[in-house]
Structure 1
């Protein structure tokens, strides 16, 4: 298959996947083994693989395709994204319970993060809970185990919940995206948008009395794209589901943030007390 066999949207999607995977430089179709080449040979090989735009030859009678105007290209990308979001909404809304939603998510390939992750991070229990916590993007431990919270993050989460008389098994845990971004980068706006219909459906099925957003990426994905966690944490907000249900919502620090900056634990404890009071 050559580039001519692909549509523009498919080429853009492939480029986006490579960028998300960490590719930042195009070199050549054939790798150069610098250990087997002399310095002069290496330089000659690199020079021969550098395209010379001034000497490009076109076939007689064949005209190069005119470049696509930037506005038209942007419009096509937005149309492709909107199609993906519509598909996500349709698939998510068809689920009647959490196992159905897990199967629906497994069939959804609209998020580029899925292509580089090991596992889809999705918890199916408990089916109902008074408290639902939405974490940031999965990290290495969560990606390996396929759990929303794993490793040292899970140990700290257990202790945080015990401090307000809750067991982790009684709290529903989710993530702002369901796949680990390469290199633990922050999820993009498109990543968050593609996963949000499934999270909204989780909220509807679990029907929590209160919602906790852990981490700045989660806060920005659900409340305000320009929000600051340090300014918004500890304050009760309202989150409205697509069906118009209003759920009291509060933002606080994620476990991995507290492990990296222990001085924030005092602020996190204040937030936990607010959560306990709201559930009482």
Structure 2
């Protein structure tokens, strides 16, 4: 087998792992878990059955001890903690989506600045993703930026850091911004959803709808001149189109906010995609050149 074929097989395998939600490799070599379990069971000392003296002990116990508290189950605190974590999810599941959406709208519209908006978003329990994500990824960069970059959902590195566009995707974005003479700190970075879906699965339409009022208010408060929507989900959410990203990219779209602000939108390819398919960088470069010219006041 040629080196090219071997490389292609490895790339297919890694791509399969990424799509399946695998975050990292635990071992370089395969491990026989069944053999481990058998060895562990063999090492455990054998238990000798004991006669059940419960009834005899109860009969012999003094009357004053009849109300003695039962023995505590060591696993009970963990179970109680798990039930406490699941309670908000179960409670929200019984509420109609229309009610949750109206709550999100009220919370978002009541925020007069970005700090208040972040607090309102963090206090919103209507989206179940909040209870499975490690951190909320609200934003990064300058709130006074002319350029706002919006991705789809937080990735693994974003979720761990609580910062949008962290890890390799963030480094790629920083190189792209540097190519148009901008630093990361000169742009405002956000996502369509602030919480990472479990296993990096795609967000559901309901999850997108519940978080949309916060994104709309975020755009209003930042008031950028240009928005770059990175990736298929972000491009569709912000343009309202059902066309795939390869048809949306390279063409200007516009978004009108509730405050009658009109913002130019350029859909483009996500840095994660560019890392997997470097040959597509030339198309992304065309998009970003158009963004650079629009920021400089040149209509293209």
Could you say which residue in structure 2 is the equivalent of 1:30?
none
Matches within 5 A, 1:64-213: 80-123=96-139, 125-213=141-229
Once the two structures are superposed, what CA deviation does each residue of 1:39-58 show, in whole Å capped at 9, x if it has no partner? Answer: xxxxxxxxxxxxxxxxxxxx
Could you say which residue in structure 2 is the equivalent of 1:53?
none
SS at match of 1:120: coil
Matches within 5 A, 1:43-62: none
Could you say which residue in structure 1 is the equivalent of 2:240?
224
Q: TM-score, normalised by structure 2?
A: 0.66
Q: TM-score, normalised by structure 1?
A: 0.71
Structure 1 moving runs of 4+ over 4 Å? none
SS at match of 1:208: coil
How far has the Cα of 1:243 moved from its partner? Answer: 2.4
Once the two structures are superposed, what CA deviation does each residue of 1:93-119 show, in whole Å capped at 9, x if it has no partner? Answer: 111111111111110011111111100
CA distance in 2, matches of 1:132, 1:200: 12
Could you say which residue in structure 1 is the equivalent of 2:30?
none
Q: Judge conservation of contact 2:140–2:189 (CA < 8 Å) in 1.
A: no
1:225 to 1:273, Cα distance in 2 relative to 1, 3 A: closer
Could you say which residue in structure 2 is the equivalent of 1:259?
275
User: In the comparison of the two structures, how many residue pairs are matched?
Assistant: 208
Question: Highest Rg: 1 or 2?
Answer: 2
CA root-mean-square deviation: 2.0
Query: Which deviates more, 235-244 or 136-145?
Result: 235-244
CA distance in 2, matches of 1:169, 1:256: 20
Once the two structures are superposed, what CA deviation does each residue of 1:181-209 show, in whole Å capped at 9, x if it has no partner? Answer: 11111111111111111111111111100
Q: Which runs of 5+ in 1 are unaligned?
A: 1-20, 22-33, 37-76
CA distance in 1, matches of 2:96, 2:243: 27
Aligned pair partner of 1:236 in 242, 245, 252: 252
Once the two structures are superposed, what CA deviation does each residue of 1:61-94 show, in whole Å capped at 9, x if it has no partner? Answer: xxxxxxxxxxxxxxxx998111111111100111
CA distance in 1, matches of 2:239, 2:94: 22
CA distance in 1, matches of 2:280, 2:110: 41
Structure having greater relative contact order (Cα 8 Å, sep ≥ 6): 1
How far has the Cα of 1:211 moved from its partner? Answer: 0.9
Q: Which runs of 5+ in 2 are unaligned?
A: 1-20, 22-36, 42-92
Q: Judge conservation of contact 2:141–2:184 (CA < 8 Å) in 1.
A: no
How far has the Cα of 1:128 moved from its partner? Answer: 1.4
CA distance in 1, matches of 2:94, 2:261: 28
Q: Judge conservation of contact 1:252–1:268 (CA < 8 Å) in 2.
A: yes
Q: Judge conservation of contact 2:192–2:234 (CA < 8 Å) in 1.
A: yes
